Amino acid sequence: MRDILIASAVALLLSIFGTPLAIRLFSRRGYGQSIREEGPSGHHDKRGTPTMGGTVIVIAALIGFACAHLMSWTPPTISAVLVLFLMTGLGAVGFLDDFIKIYKQRSLGLRSGAKALGQLVVGAVFAFLVTEFPDAYDITPAETRLSFLRDFGPSIGIVGFTIWVLIMIVGFSNAVNLTDGLDGLASGATGAVLASYILIGNWQLRNSCTAQLGPNCYWVRDPLDLAVVAAAVLGALIGFLWWNAPPAKIFMGDTGSLALGGVIAGLAITTRTQLLLIILAGMCVVITTSVIIQVGFFKMTGKRVFRMAPLQHHFELAGWAETTIVVRFWIIAGLCAAAGLGLFYVEWVPK
């Protein structure tokens, strides 16, 4: 528990005091956000707002995690290192995307193929390594099986597992990216998921099969350190949200959204709660589904289901204030996280 508090506190302080420095630095260098002309008209006022704020989140989280281990004088676990690698690698892909947008002064950065390739390369490395490194109990960070509240069913093989992990990583990193359309929206939505994984990691530690065998115990490697990762990223995210809340003084950009999508996918894989993430991150899933529906329906009929996709822009064009949309979507994100946690704990409720 001490490591969790240290990681979150250090990351929070670094983020809340480091973000203004990033705002000044990026402003001086002209690292401002480009806005799509076809987007909502209210967004044109945001043109030039500093972006790439996700660099602060990633750096603060890494330092917060490192400080927790330095102060407790314990080495980081391989599970935590792999999740942080996934976060940092996808953040680097997003950074390239953001930098190209700024350098070329356009709303599109990396070409979609190049961006997907970067995500796939980072994800493939993670997928390969996450099934290696067994501990003293022969538990690896992940197994080649599907999971909901824990692993279930037969192995799907290393090839099938790699494909599934890539679908999760690309899917959720893009889902958070699509959610990041209004000030503070993605920060609040992913923050609820990260808070859930702090609780999940702690519960898995207290009911680990390596400590005491039982009908509902968890075969999870390094659950405490995974909770420390979630706490470090959450602390960094809360500090950033102070400056990202409407009206935002800085945007996280693809640097932040891809990194956050990667870290929640990595936590789901290593805590053996892959399918549960669909519920925990339900707000991001709904927003992504709205884009799929809009594109698919338009290709089939030439008509639109929503005024604009992703879903948050539909409500903007319907006349909702930006802060109203953000707060209401935060409430939905919180309810999704609560529902996911309820399902996670339900098997422990006395019958």
177 assigned to a ligand binding site:
yes
Helices 157-179 and 78-104 cross at an angle (nearest 10°) of 50
Tell me the C-alpha distance between 55 and 92, whole Å.
9
Nearest C-alpha neighbor of 62 from the set 29, 85, 35, 32:
85
Q: Which residues pair with 147 in a beta bridge?
A: 151
Non-local CB neighbours of 25 within 8 Å, separated by 6+ positions? none
254 assigned to a ligand binding site:
yes
Name the residue with tokens 């990351």: 11
Non-local CB neighbours of 324 within 8 Å, separated by 6+ positions? none
**Residue spans of alpha helices (H) in the chain:** 2-29, 54-72, 78-104, 112-129, 157-179, 185-206, 223-244, 253-270, 276-280, 282-301, 311-317, 322-346
> What token pair was written down for 289?
């589904």
Non-local CB neighbours of 173 within 8 Å, separated by 6+ positions? 90, 119, 257, 258, 261, 262, 265
Q: Is 23:250 a contact under the CB 8 Å cutoff? A: yes
Mapped onto helix, strand or coil, the DSSP state of residue 191 is helix
Q: What dihedral angle (degrees, nearest 10) is formed by the CA atoms of 142, 146, 152, 155?
A: -80
Q: Is 246:20 a contact under the CB 8 Å cutoff? A: no
Q: Is 348:215 a contact under the CB 8 Å cutoff? A: no
Tell me the C-alpha distance between 90 and 173, whole Å.
8
Annotated binding site: 177, 254
Annotated binding site for Mg(2+): 177, 254
